A and B are shown apart, each in its own frame.
Chain A
Amino acid sequence: MFRFVIKRLLVAIPTLWAVLTTVFVLIRVVPGDPTIIILGDQASEAAREALREKLGLAKPILSQYFDFLWQVLHGDLGRSLATNRPIVDDVLSVLPFTIELTLASLLVGAVIGIPLGVLAAERRDGFADWFARIFSLAGVSFPAFVSGILLLMVFSVELRWFPVISTANTADPIERLRALVLPAINLGLLMVAYVTRVTRSGMLKALGEDYVRTARSKGLGRRLVVWRHAFPNVLVPIVTVVGLYLGVLIGNAVLTEIVFNRPGIGKLIVTALNQRDYTLLQGLMVITAFAIVLANILTDLTYGLVDPRVKTS
């Protein structure tokens, strides 16, 4: 297990290096002189030269590149152009909100998606199956900003069960949880859709396998056959989908965070874009890439837990 983790981390190094290099190149090939963006086109040549010096842009490109890698390695993502605060601090202050939203929507996806998918497979072409198929199609195709507003109108404005303006940034855990419910459902709908679909098709296949017939030949009842013998074999594709869509989830978190006015990485990205804060943007790209690589490593480790054929030792 330990060696597997080490190996996986070693493999992640070239990936991260490639990501950092891409970010570095991308920022530099995007048209527009950053000094003009920052200072405006009326600024004097001297002022721009001074800023260039300050940002390290006057150095040769290769030495800029190594400086960048060196800083990232030390956990330093530079300072925001807009606020001059360390970017790491800005990110860390909103990261918990994004993490709790992502995990909560994963939970929503699993808790609703898995039973729905299993039920649909068991009652193939029955009512439950049709419901699951329509529901998951709607979940994938419904834009998060529309479903978010609908949820707000029904549950916050009409029923007044949850706050309209997010109260996520509070010390009261109950209030924080209340503020999490609607955004988690909104983002979770997407996850429900993916999880339902992959669970349904996986279960359909598993229920037709020889080992399910063996389980029935032992005289086991429906529940044990489905949950003990068929379902564990579907965990690998479910984990794959969840791992894969973690990235999509982060992207969709942007819309959800804006609609529900929650602090988070998504909102920070939009702020950075609006203010043309390109050092902040660069830092956020690095952070997001790290998060996705981490999610992939966790996915690989989970394979080892759910399938004995995957060697983790």
Chain B
Amino acid sequence: MTATPPPLVVEGLTTSIRLDGRLHHVVRDISFEIRAEETLALVGESGCGKSMTALSVTGLLPPIASVTSGRILVEGVDMVAASEKTREDLRGDRIGMIFQEPMTSLNPVLPIGFQVGEALMRHHGLSKKAARERARELLELVRVPAAAERLDAYPHQFSGGMRQRVMIALALACRPSVLIADEPTTALDVTIQAQVLALVADLQKREGLAVLLITHNLGVVASVADRVMVMYGGDVVESAPVKAFFDRPTHPYSQALLAAMPRIEGDGQLKPIPGQVPPLTEMPSGCRFQSRCPLRQEICDRLPEMTPVGGDPEHKVRCWARSE
């Protein structure tokens, strides 16, 4: 392990939204850290709080949501305690972000070159001309063909895969140490997905990025992540190195997720997870998965701690039935 602190450390993060005057936790007391060159995958179905976690880290939460406790350290600076000015200074400079929809994430009325270089003008005080030159280099870095001629092109003149490359160039313009990728390949064709993931992995090595990858695609997790955190209803229910996770998924929800994933071997039957995520206002106390859990017991009304399993201190599970 290196002496420098990890670029991203999250401690006890709780994010809440206010509905009808009451606070509901959409992210509950989650902690993790990501080291340079490491990829942490945050997995779960829609509404599990994974995107809210990403937005909390970047400080881009919608107005109704806010971080209610915890610390988010980006290169040692606490984003939660910092002023809005400091947050703006870090955003786009030390943290880059790419989003799910490359079709709508780029501004349709501004040229590509300007959009890619804009953060450099904002954070590093580059002139328009210098930013344009750097934008060309960045577009070449993400392998946009004929980058120099395409600086003045607009997003509608690019394909979905090319736009996501542009987004990556934009996010990495200031050479951040943290990259947050919120479902970066969900909207792309499978072949393009693989290209984009390979590009991110390549750039991660080159730049020493800490990557927080948000996805519901376990295939993507298996191919690029180093560690996995499974979220359900705003709680982390299992956290493990990627190999341990796929070898020995332990939380009943993780097992159900893997059983719901198509595989080449096996009988071809997918097992859906019965029931659905309860609405925010009707979350059970204690373990939030209990209403759909086959291993439910009396004690599940109390929230279990994250407990190491199988003698591996890195592999932790939040489940009464799994922690002897």
Contact = CB atoms under 8 A, between A and B. Distances in A.
A233 B154 CA distance: 13
Contacts of B106: 211, 214
Residue picked from A217, A220, A229, most chain B C-beta under 10 Å: A217
Interface in A218-247: 218-221, 224, 228-229, 232-233
Contacts, number: 72
A233 B99 contact: no
Nearest to B94: A219
Contact of A309 (B89, B91, B108, B167): B108
Contact of B88 (A213, A221, A232, A308): A221
A309 B156 contact: yes
A211 B108 CA distance: 8
Given A214-B99, A309-B156, A220 B122 contact: yes
A210 B99 contact: yes
B60 A218 contact: no
B209 to A, nearest CB: 15
A308 B108 CA distance: 8
B109 A219 contact: no
A211 B107 contact: yes
B38 interface: no
B194 interface: no
Given A219-B91, A309-B154, A210 B109 contact: no
A53 interface: no
Contacts of A307: 108-109
Interface in A139-191: none
Interface in B64-112: 88-93, 96-97, 99, 101, 104-111
Residue picked from A209, A218, A228, A306, most chain B C-beta under 10 Å: A218
Interface string B108-146: 111100010011001100000000000000000000000
B249 to A, nearest CB: 33
Q: Interface size for chain A: under 10, 10 to 19, 20 to 34, or 35 or more residues? A: 20 to 34
B105 A211 contact: yes
A216 B109 contact: no
Contact of B108 (A213, A218, A221, A233): A233
B170 interface: yes
Nearest to A214: B105
A219 B89 contact: yes
Contacts of B109: 232-233, 306-308
B65 to A, nearest CB: 14
Contact of B60 (A213, A233, A308): A213
Smallest CB-CB A-B distances: 8 pairs: A219-B92, A218-B92, A219-B91, A210-B104, A211-B107, A218-B119, A217-B97, A308-B154
Given A211-B106, A214-B106, 13 more contacts: A210-B99, A210-B101, A211-B107, A211-B108, A214-B97, A214-B115, A218-B170, A219-B88, A219-B90, A219-B93, A232-B110, A308-B108, A309-B154
Interface of A: 209-211, 213-221, 224, 228-229, 232-233, 306-309
26 contacts: A209-B104, A210-B99, A210-B104, A211-B105, A211-B106, A211-B107, A211-B108, A213-B105, A214-B105, A217-B91, A217-B92, A218-B92, A219-B89, A219-B90, A219-B119, A219-B123, A220-B88, A221-B88, A224-B122, A228-B110, A229-B107, A233-B109, A307-B108, A307-B109, A308-B156, A309-B108
